[in-house]
A and B are shown apart, each in its own frame.
Chain A
Amino acid sequence: QKEVEQNSGPLSVPEGAIASLNCTYSDRGSQSFFWYRQYSGKSPELIMSIYSNGDKEDGRFTAQLNKASQYVSLLIRDSQPSDSATYLCASYSGGGADGLTFGKGTHLIIQP
């Protein structure tokens, strides 16, 4: 059974601070990991993808992957009120024909 675990929150962070979101996964065969942002009533939007151990930076976002610990994280620097949303962590184990396994999401609130 593939599982992705996230703290549901809410996680409250002051504007301008760093928001840290965490995720663990159970399937050691997982190859790729994704962070999606989802606003209420909307479809998920891809924020970051990461495939190998270490850090990957894109603008204000940094994804971190540690396959030995089965741990994925997302850092958001200089948090803005518009970053307030639910962040979904997802893992992918297949070769193109498998769906993603999603965590339940962390609700992030950026306080102005």
Chain B
Amino acid sequence: GAVVSQHPSWVICKSGTSVKIECRSLDFQATTMFWYRQFPKQSLMLMATSNEGSKATYEQGVEKDKFLINHASLTLSTLTVTSAHPEDSSFYICSATAHNEQFFGPGTRLTVL
């Protein structure tokens, strides 16, 4: 199957700082990648669709100025959580489509103090 990686796997930061999370497709090219967020004991919620070479599409209720997405190449999308606050603490997971299926990265655990 296709492999998707994320970096870092976990990060702890102070309130008010920005955090960048990388999502890479290792053995395939992905024109579209997806960013999900999962709070404890909740399901995955789609935050945004990242499109290579164009602006991301955000789901209703997700602040695009707070969650900056850049998809500069066919193998890399980044999510930057700007001015992070404790309520942004969550498990962030990216995915990419290959062979008509979505493959997920291992996730990034963000804790904002």
Contact = CB atoms under 8 A, between A and B. Distances in A.
A43 B32 contact: no
A107 to B, nearest CB: 9
Interface residues of A, number: 22
A81 interface: no
Interface residues of B, number: 25
19 contacts: A34-B101, A34-B102, A36-B104, A43-B106, A44-B104, A46-B102, A49-B101, A88-B44, A92-B102, A96-B32, A97-B32, A99-B34, A99-B49, A99-B102, A100-B44, A100-B95, A104-B42, A104-B43, A105-B43
Given A97-B32, A99-B46, 10 more contacts: A42-B107, A44-B93, A88-B44, A92-B102, A96-B100, A97-B51, A100-B44, A100-B102, A104-B42, A105-B43
A98 B36 CA distance: 12
A99 B36 contact: yes
A84 interface: no
A44 B101 CA distance: 13
Given A96-B32, A101-B46, A42 B106 contact: yes
Interface of A: 32, 34, 36, 41-46, 49, 88, 92, 96-105
A17 to B, nearest CB: 26
Contact of A102 (B44, B97, B109): B44
Given A43-B104, A43-B105, A43-B107, A96 B97 contact: yes
Nearest to A46: B101
B103 interface: yes
Nearest to B109: A41
A98 B49 contact: yes
A103 B49 CA distance: 19
A46 B45 CA distance: 17
